[in-house]
A and B are shown apart, each in its own frame.
Chain A
Amino acid sequence: MNILIAHIAVPAITTLVMMFARTQKQVRAVAASGMTLQLLLSLILLYLFLQERAAGNEAVVLFTQSYFWYPSLGISFDIGVDGIAVAMILLTSIVIFTGIFASWEVEKLYKEFFISLIVLATGVYGFFVSLDLFVLFLFFELAVIPMYLLIGIWGSGPKEYAAMKLTLMLMGGSALLVVGILGVYFTADVEGLRTFNILALGQQHVPIEMQRIFFPMLFIGFGVIGALFPFHTWSPDGHSSAPTAVSMLHAGVLMKLGGYGCLKVAIFLLPEAANEMSWIFLILTSISVIYGALATVVQTDLKYINAYSSVSHCGLVLFAILMLNKTSSTGAVLQMISHGLMTALFFALIGMLYSRTKTRIITEMGGLMKVLPFLSVCYVIGGLASLGLPGLSGFVAEMTIFVGAFEHEDLFHRVATIIAVSSIVVTAVYILRVVGMLLMGPIKSEAYNNFPKAKWFEKIATISLITGILVIGLTPLWLSNMIRDSLGLIVDKLVLK
């Protein structure tokens, strides 16, 4: 069987089996074994992919498979992966794997919880493997139902408001996508049967006046889920209300769908408009980067801190993509992966701390390093990765982005880059502030001494995420080469000015 089909089949079968599980133990066992299998599959996929490339296979996408679906409309179930997709699939597998362990102790409607969570992940896998715009869009929207239920039922705080806001804003984004996708489909100059296949569409040409209409639609459509300013407002509310595993998956992976879509759909299919209009979105993303960072500084709720810093970091992804060159785009993908691991780690840790302290307000906590050394050290590692310490993944990603951004010599790009770079300083401010208030200082209350130590499932979750962060930080070359090789097709079509 094609390994990519297995990537969709395994979560689907896991959910089916889970429907027959009865006790919480069974449900957890099924979920954990299914997602462990999925993680192994993704590692095998990575290995096979690197093998193929080492053997000199130069095809744009590998492991392709195609089934006709709606032939009269040119819709077929086309799958295949390039280096970027492989990296994103691996990220998804790690995050969902750790997400299962981070939500080990969900009590309320546990079966429904895990089913929704894995359906959500299925949508993500489908999105990354599909080469057909229709199928890609279908998987993109598949996330809506489980997302609403996950936040609405298992969330905390103003969860109903947050769930509704998040769902409607993301749907608004996909409404733009429908128009954009159909626009590209019908205006591409092609004789005979039209197609939704992305690679085939990439070879067709859309008239420039049409590109000017549809590029903003596609870019904003994907940008909404990538937290593009000013469409980012769903993110802080949504992430802070969502249960731990959903925040992890959403900030860690789903927000990356935005960057991935902008790069591989909007810019790839409409390159001329991307050249022409990138400055508009560059301004917006620069605002995202610096505004997200500054907004983080004044937050006191741990989840809000992480949500706003995600806006800043994901803004950096879109910023790098809009620099429209190979180096910065490589950095963008690296940043997606690095931020995915990092933010998943943060949300997992926040969930674990919350289960003990019953509060997420940092001013009400302190001295956790003394009572929870393991979790606190993990938090510090995540924080250091976030502020770009060499040796951890954040440094590799941000360095690549800014090197790429400085390739532009004109004033506009320089100013934008400098603004974005300055966010690193702000990041250091808020990370150190949180670490100082939360972990250092005297123990806030007597009750802290009774906190249970980190449990085995918590250790699995945190250690696997930190492993990812370290591996990328210490040996980034294989990953960045893998990504860089896949960018040729996209970047070569862009005419740099």
Chain B
Amino acid sequence: MSLQELLLMRHEWTLIGSLLILLVLELNFTDEGKTKSIPSAAILFALVTLSGFLPSQSGTLFGGMYVTDPLRILMKNILNLGVLIVFLQSGSWLRAKNNYNRITEFYLLMLSSVIGVSFMISAGNFLMFYLGLELLTIPIAAAASYEQYKSKSAEAGIKLILSAAFASALLLFGLSMLYGATGSMYFSKMIVTADVLHVLGFVFFFSGLAFKISVVPFHLWTADVYEGSPTNVTSYLSVVSKGAAIFVFVLLSVTLFETIRQVWQPVIYGTAIFTMTIGNLFAIRQQNLKRFLAFSSIAQAGFILLGVIGGTALAMASVIYFVLVYVFSNLAAFGVVIAIEQYSGKININDYNGLYHTNPRLSLAMMLALFSLAGIPPLAGFFGKFFLFTAAAESGYYVLLFIAVANAVVSLYYYLLVVKAMFVNKNESPIKYFHSDYPTRIALSACVVGILVIGFYSPIFEFIKQLCLSSL
């Protein structure tokens, strides 16, 4: 393997490298110095993220098992940004007494999962894809039960691993059908037709992936796992693992499954409607903010499907762009929830009553994040949603579009409930003023800047669209 070829896998190498470095560093830390792995991990991962933006080439490795091109690199970079923000936000939580001895463990689990994400996106073969998917899921199940001293956390871990195992089984079943019908596992060699076996294979494959995206009716694990997991893991689950699954589906829908468009378009059509509506309806009734964000993220997945359904360059671009926006918006919301949970242990919407009077900056960040999720201008979420809607309209799905915009109004209602709690409601004993640690503040500021700037800075979208056009 020449150096040139090695560099094609730059994302994976840097990730594996930083994982090993972290492992070695951990050995040298004294018992009192365990917290040093928090900044080390953040710095290492920042370097990984930065190196991802260096110019790179397209190509395949391992006889077509591994594919890389600018679009895939962009996807990895977007998700890496999300992981970096998650890392920055998790410092204060890891310093807590109960987690003290196992700080590095958390980072190792997360890094392994990110390696899985990278391999999954770069897969050129279903086996490689499956390996990536499992590598993405299993460490996260361990991380979900990281707070062993809380029964809810253990419950979340077991729920996640069981449903993920079930999803994997479905997915493998689908893959075996596809393999049996086409005689290959390589995306480039498989020719999928509207044959019954092919379609069945696709349906099972989609079901497996839908678990990851938490598309209705495969969403039932989401709320419980999100609620029980440590909030930092939840934010990773809701942004990175969901984003990766969506990216893979977008890539496959326009390449491998292009030929059976008439099959998957109605499937997406139906699931999109149910995902948006059910996510929204359940989100309205939630008091616990983590459950609230879980259902809101289900609804957001429904909106994303609106972009997937078109299968054009604009549709792909709108999905990737929306995920980028979603990374910043959702992680800003989670960042505030994490900061407040760390300081006060409070997690309900009622606890946020009167927050603006004591913590104006956090409240503003939360408000911007929620309005961005709701798609209100001039925030990035507005542009993201508008482009998704444009993608759906481009292919003539006006009824679906109508249902989606109606859902967007419903979603504004429950996002406003939180804003109302922070700004309007009165509270005798609001959460007191506090300083969160610097990494959290940096992460939150980065998110807020992202929310404010991404929409106005149009070259980002134009760049993504150009990449999508050239990859079709």
Q: From residue A261, how far is it (CB to closest CB) to chain B in Å?
A: 16
Contact B465 A153 (CB under 8 A): no
- Asked, given contacts A134-B386, A175-B406, A175-B408, whether A141 binds B377 with beta carbons under 8 Å apart, the answer is yes
B-side interface residues, number (CB < 8 Å): 32
Q: From residue B391, how far is it (CB to closest CB) to chain A in Å?
A: 10
- Stretch from A163-171, A279-287, A407-415 that touches the partner: A163-171
Contact B424 A160 (CB under 8 A): yes
Taking CB atoms, residues of chain B closer than 8 Å to A186 are: 393-394, 396
Contact B412 A160 (CB under 8 A): no
Question: Chain A 55-77, CB within 8 Å of chain B: the 1/0 string?
Answer: 00000000000000111110100
Contact A152 B420 (CB under 8 A): yes
B377 in complex: contacting residue of A70, A138, A164, CB < 8 Å = A138
Contact B420 A179 (CB under 8 A): no
Contact B409 A171 (CB under 8 A): yes
For the complex, give the distance between the alpha carbons of A73 and B378 in Å: 18
**A463 interface residue per 8 A CB criterion:** no
Query: A286-318: which have CB < 8 Å to B?
Result: none
Taking CB atoms, residues of chain A closer than 8 Å to B412 are: 144, 167-168, 171
For the complex, give the distance between the alpha carbons of A142 and B398 in Å: 24
A168 in complex: contacting residue of B387, B413, B424, CB < 8 Å = B413
**A172 interface residue per 8 A CB criterion:** yes
- Asked, given contacts A70-B461, A164-B413, A183-B398, whether A138 binds B406 with beta carbons under 8 Å apart, the answer is no
For the complex, give the distance between the alpha carbons of A148 and B374 in Å: 14
For the complex, give the distance between the alpha carbons of A383 and B412 in Å: 38
**B423 interface residue per 8 A CB criterion:** yes
Contact A141 B382 (CB under 8 A): yes
B376 in complex: contacting residue of A145, A153, A172, A185, CB < 8 Å = A145
For the complex, give the distance between the alpha carbons of A226 and B420 in Å: 26
For the complex, give the distance between the alpha carbons of A148 and B387 in Å: 25
Contact A183 B393 (CB under 8 A): yes
Name, among A71, A139, A167, the residue most crowded by chain B CB atoms within 10 Å (CB to CB): A167
A70 in complex: contacting residue of B367, B405, B413, B458, CB < 8 Å = B458
Contact B465 A185 (CB under 8 A): no
Contact A179 B458 (CB under 8 A): no
For the complex, give the distance between the alpha carbons of A168 and B402 in Å: 16
Contact A153 B424 (CB under 8 A): yes
Q: From residue A176, how far is it (CB to closest CB) to chain B in Å?
A: 7
Query: B387-438: which have CB < 8 Å to A?
Result: 387, 389-390, 393-394, 396, 398, 401-402, 405-406, 408-409, 412-413, 416, 419-420, 423-424
Query: B349-383: which have CB < 8 Å to A?
Result: 367, 371, 376-378, 382
For the complex, give the distance between the alpha carbons of A179 and B409 in Å: 13
Q: Which secondary structure characterizes the binding site on chain A?
A: helix
For the complex, give the distance between the alpha carbons of A185 and B398 in Å: 12
Taking CB atoms, residues of chain A closer than 8 Å to B341 are: none
Taking CB atoms, residues of chain A closer than 8 Å to B419 are: 148-149
Contact A179 B402 (CB under 8 A): yes
Q: Which secondary structure characterizes the binding site on chain B?
A: helix
For the complex, give the distance between the alpha carbons of A183 and B420 in Å: 34
- Asked, given contacts A160-B420, A178-B386, whether A138 binds B393 with beta carbons under 8 Å apart, the answer is no
B465 in complex: contacting residue of A72, A138, A144, CB < 8 Å = A72
Contact A179 B462 (CB under 8 A): no
Contact A179 B377 (CB under 8 A): no
For the complex, give the distance between the alpha carbons of A182 and B398 in Å: 9
Residue of A nearest to B459 (CB): A70
- Asked, given contacts A72-B465, A142-B377, A160-B420, whether A175 binds B390 with beta carbons under 8 Å apart, the answer is no
For the complex, give the distance between the alpha carbons of A264 and B389 in Å: 23
Q: From residue A15, how far is it (CB to closest CB) to chain B in Å?
A: 13
For the complex, give the distance between the alpha carbons of A291 and B377 in Å: 34
Q: From residue A148, how far is it (CB to closest CB) to chain B in Å?
A: 6
Taking CB atoms, residues of chain B closer than 8 Å to A141 are: 376-377, 382
A-side interface residues, number (CB < 8 Å): 34
For the complex, give the distance between the alpha carbons of A159 and B426 in Å: 13
- Asked, given contacts A153-B423, A186-B393, whether A175 binds B405 with beta carbons under 8 Å apart, the answer is yes
Residue of A nearest to B387 (CB): A73
B393 in complex: contacting residue of A168, A171, A182, CB < 8 Å = A182
For the complex, give the distance between the alpha carbons of A405 and B121 in Å: 64
Query: B148-195: which have CB < 8 Å to A?
Result: none
Question: Chain B 125-162, CB within 8 Å of chain A: the 1/0 string?
Answer: 00000000000000000000000000000000000000
Taking CB atoms, residues of chain A closer than 8 Å to B462 are: 70-72
Question: Chain A 115-142, CB within 8 Å of chain B: the 1/0 string?
Answer: 0000000000000000000100011011
Q: From residue B332, how far is it (CB to closest CB) to chain A in Å?
A: 15
Taking CB atoms, residues of chain A closer than 8 Å to B376 are: 141, 144-145
B424 in complex: contacting residue of A75, A144, A152, A167, CB < 8 Å = A152
Taking CB atoms, residues of chain B closer than 8 Å to A179 are: 393, 398, 401-402, 405
Query: B452-472: which have CB < 8 Å to A?
Result: 458, 461-462, 465
Question: Chain A 170-206, CB within 8 Å of chain B: the 1/0 string?
Answer: 0110011011001101100000000000000000000
Q: From residue A434, how far is it (CB to closest CB) to chain B in Å?
A: 31
Taking CB atoms, residues of chain B closer than 8 Å to A72 are: 461-462, 465
For the complex, give the distance between the alpha carbons of A65 and B14 in Å: 47
For the complex, give the distance between the alpha carbons of A176 and B409 in Å: 10
Contact A152 B423 (CB under 8 A): yes
A138 in complex: contacting residue of B382, B413, B423, B458, CB < 8 Å = B382
Taking CB atoms, residues of chain B closer than 8 Å to A69 are: 458
Taking CB atoms, residues of chain B closer than 8 Å to A144 are: 376, 412
Residue of B nearest to A68 (CB): B458
Taking CB atoms, residues of chain B closer than 8 Å to A152 are: 420, 423-424
Taking CB atoms, residues of chain B closer than 8 Å to A176 are: 405
Contact A178 B377 (CB under 8 A): no
Query: B32-85: which have CB < 8 Å to A?
Result: none
For the complex, give the distance between the alpha carbons of A168 and B406 in Å: 10
Contact B393 A185 (CB under 8 A): yes
For the complex, give the distance between the alpha carbons of A176 and B413 in Å: 17
Residue of A nearest to B410 (CB): A168
For the complex, give the distance between the alpha carbons of A75 and B456 in Å: 12
Residue of B nearest to A148 (CB): B416
For the complex, give the distance between the alpha carbons of A151 and B159 in Å: 44
Taking CB atoms, residues of chain A closer than 8 Å to B394 are: 186
Taking CB atoms, residues of chain B closer than 8 Å to A145 are: 367, 371, 376
Q: From residue A458, how far is it (CB to closest CB) to chain B in Å?
A: 28
Residue of B nearest to A178 (CB): B405
5 A-B pairs with least C-beta separation:
A175-B405, A182-B393, A152-B424, A138-B377, A171-B409
Interface residues, chain A, CB within 8 Å of chain B? Answer: 69-73, 75, 134, 138-139, 141-142, 144-145, 148-149, 152-153, 159-160, 163-164, 167-168, 171-172, 175-176, 178-179, 182-183, 185-186, 213
The 26 listed contacts between A and B (C-beta, < 8 Å) are: A69-B458, A72-B461, A72-B462, A72-B465, A73-B390, A134-B386, A138-B377, A141-B382, A144-B412, A145-B371, A148-B419, A152-B423, A160-B424, A164-B413, A167-B412, A167-B416, A168-B409, A175-B406, A176-B405, A179-B393, A179-B398, A179-B401, A179-B405, A182-B393, A186-B393, A186-B396
4 new A-B contacts, CB < 8 A, other than A71-B462, A149-B419, are A70-B458, A141-B376, A164-B420, A179-B402
